[in-house]
A and B are shown apart, each in its own frame.
Chain A
Amino acid sequence: MSVATEKAPAAAVPEPRATKKKRGPDHRPGLSRKLPYLLLAPAVLLELLIHIIPMLVGIWMSFVKLTKFFIANWSAAPWAGFDNYRVALDFDNAVGEGLLKSFGVTVAFSLITLALAWCLGMAAAVALQPPFKGRSLVRTLFLVPYALPAYAGILTWNFMLQRDTGAVNHLLVDNLGLVSDRPFWLIGGNALVSLITVAVWKLWPFAFLTLMAGLQSIPRDVYEAASVDGAGSIRQWRNITLPSLRPVNLVLVLVLFLWTFSDFNTPYVLFGTAQPPAGDLITFHIYNASFLTWNFGSGAAMSVLLLIFLMIVTGAYLLITGRRSRRA
């Protein structure tokens, strides 16, 4: 494949010129102008087919009345204007109210999961910073939940959270005696607690991995100088570790937020098609709204609203953090 792409543009270059200036792609204008585009072509084509065009189609879909009657013949779907948006944002009717509630749940889920995953990742990264016997073994173990296919880990939690046969209630009720009545974890109000626990379990190793990589770039003698000056562990962490990790944290927090906010796997594998209101994350909500009713237009409008929200948050985040680091 690579040989073919090399030969095609090279043949277009006139022989004598190529031999006169004998060195480097930058000296052969015809080739150097075409080659990067040829190299990018497969990636661009796929991105267009799977990401860009579907996104544009999605925006178009949100403006038409695309119900199950028009799935196979979408060009016949009648224009709906802003109707899909009006329904999604009318918080007095069932559709809009459901979307608003789901949004609230998702904000809570996303922020708590993000905070917990970051704290656990940071705690572990700091604990593993100085070398000790068995360090690489512990690090390997900590990465397992992240390496596991998502559904395998979530299915295990699903089993553990069963009311009568699960390990969690066995521990809380039978072993520790903390609660007398076996709580339900997968339906009712506890669904959010379960979602957060499972999501943190899966995600904190990623925070750990990233922060650990960031800690490696802090030279040791900085800490040694600080200890000589009498700074304790906590002050060393606050004055050296945290500021040095700032660039890593900026990216990590944004990535964790975007991931948790659009988490689909956890609610889908944990709850199946029964969606408890307390665990109704937004992508899961949109998915069910679209595929249970086959009203794609309405689902597309909700997706576009989600996209706009994420873009605003991301833009504001980059603006604020960018301004603060310029001032610093």
Chain B
Amino acid sequence: MRDTKGFKIYRAVVLTVLGLFVLVPLYVMATSSLKPLSDVQGAFTWWPSNLTLDPFVDMWRTVPLARYFVNSTIVSVVATVFSVAIAILAAFAVSRFRFRGRTVFSTTVLSTQMFPGVLFLLPLFLIFVNINNSIGVQLVGTRLGLIITYLTFSLPFSIWMLAGYFDSIPRELDEAALVDGCGPMGALWRVVLPAARPGVIAVAIYSFMTAWGEVLFASVMTTEANRTLSVGLRQYSTQTNVYWNQIMAAALVVSVPVVIGFLLAQRHFVAGVTAGAVK
């Protein structure tokens, strides 16, 4: 359709420039993770002259990376599971019922998404400290505190996106299920959810990415016991040395699962964003 010569040149230029912009940091990350420490501490070279896999072995010893990995995994998985389940219920209510307070709920929830995290950080920290002092539930320095916080972070966008998805599923389908003797929850479980699977997948990925990559709250709410990867990776810079090769190796390892998950499901993610945006 627009295969003019000018357009082809334009496309070639755009793809080359943006391709380099995206690829160079990824290339630096990958090659530096294969260099010995002396090479990353000297002048930079584009081509690694001494290839070694040592950074991938040493990185587990320099800092307790395995523990950070376990913490991040538990926090992200549990937060995702609860966030998706809670978002499904709320989105179903918003999409399928007309009730008093529906608009208030939708606008309030969505507007919390736009406020900067630092606004909640100080009060939440204070509330968590005082909950611990008064009823003894430890929320600062535990995984539980992080899980509750992160699952709430992804809720507004998840509810909004799923409600958009549910709206696109014809109501006649649930009504047919109701005639067949399902309750409304049966209709949700047997009819709406299977039809909205791409949306649910997209929301789950979004929740997981949110929790896995969060830095601000992790930097305040974690101690050595519940430290997650986002803060833990800073431990490679000690007073005497910065282990750049191990940092790059660790950054690569913690990124791979998320990137693969996102790219495998990107189709659903795009569809989910579009369904939400079309509204």
Contacts and interface: CB of A to CB of B under 8 A. Distances in A.
A53 B18 CA distance: 43
A84 interface: no
18 contacts: A2-B89, A2-B188, A6-B184, A25-B97, A37-B99, A39-B89, A46-B151, A49-B152, A50-B152, A124-B18, A150-B213, A156-B26, A159-B32, A216-B274, A262-B118, A264-B118, A272-B234, A304-B119
Contacts of B26: 144, 156
Nearest to A33: B99
Give the interface centre of A24, A50, A210, A227 by most chain B CB atoms within 10 Å.
A50
Contact of A2 (B2, B43, B189, B216): B189
Contacts of A223: 1-2
Interface string A178-206: 00000000000000000000000100000
B1 A227 contact: yes
Contacts of B149: 50
Would you call the interface of chain B mostly helix, strand, loop, or mixed? helix
Interface string B218-235: 011000000001100110
B247 A35 contact: no
Nearest to A153: B25
Nearest to B182: A6
Interface in B251-279: 251-252, 254-255, 258-259, 262-263, 266, 269-270, 273-274, 277-278
A286 B120 CA distance: 12
Contact of A55 (B99, B120, B148, B247): B120
B178 A23 contact: yes
Contact of A159 (B42, B248, B259, B262): B248
Contacts of A76: none
Contacts of A52: 108, 112
Contacts of A224: 1
B228 to A, nearest CB: 10
B51 interface: no
B86 to A, nearest CB: 5
B120 A51 contact: yes
B165 interface: no
Ranked 10 nearest A-B pairs via Cβ: A262-B116, A147-B262, A50-B152, A39-B93, A54-B123, A149-B213, A57-B123, A6-B185, A36-B97, A43-B90
B44 A165 contact: yes
A3 interface: yes
Contacts of B43: 164-165, 170, 174
A10 B216 CA distance: 44
Contact of B44 (A3, A170, A236): A170
A191 to B, nearest CB: 18
Given A43-B86, A248-B277, A5 B42 contact: no
A123 B121 CA distance: 37
B112 A156 contact: no
A252 to B, nearest CB: 9
B25 A156 contact: yes
Nearest to A224: B1
Interface of B: 1-4, 6-7, 10-11, 14-15, 18-19, 21-26, 28-29, 32, 40-46, 85-87, 89-90, 92-94, 97, 99, 102, 105, 108-109, 112, 114-124, 126-127, 129-130, 133, 148-149, 151-153, 155-156, 159, 175, 178-179, 183-186, 188-189, 209, 212-213, 215-216, 219-220, 229-230, 233-234, 244, 247-248, 251-252, 254-255, 258-259, 262-263, 266, 269-270, 273-274, 277-278
Interface string A42-69: 1110110111111101100100001000
A223 B3 CA distance: 12
Given A46-B152, A140-B266, A54 B251 contact: no
Interface stretch (A86-94, A96-104, A295-303, A320-328): A295-303
Interface in A4-55: 5-6, 10, 23-25, 31-33, 35-37, 39-40, 42-44, 46-47, 49-55
A166 B219 CA distance: 26
A316 interface: no
A214 B278 CA distance: 9
A32 B11 contact: no
Given A147-B262, A223-B2, A291-B220, A296 B89 contact: no
Q: Which of B25, B40, B90, B109 has the most CB of A within 10 A?
A: B25
Nearest to A41: B89
A242 interface: no
Contacts of A24: 175, 178
A239 to B, nearest CB: 13
Given A74-B126, A159-B248, A165-B40, A43 B274 contact: no
A149 B253 CA distance: 11
A55 B115 contact: yes
Contacts of A25: 97, 178, 183-184
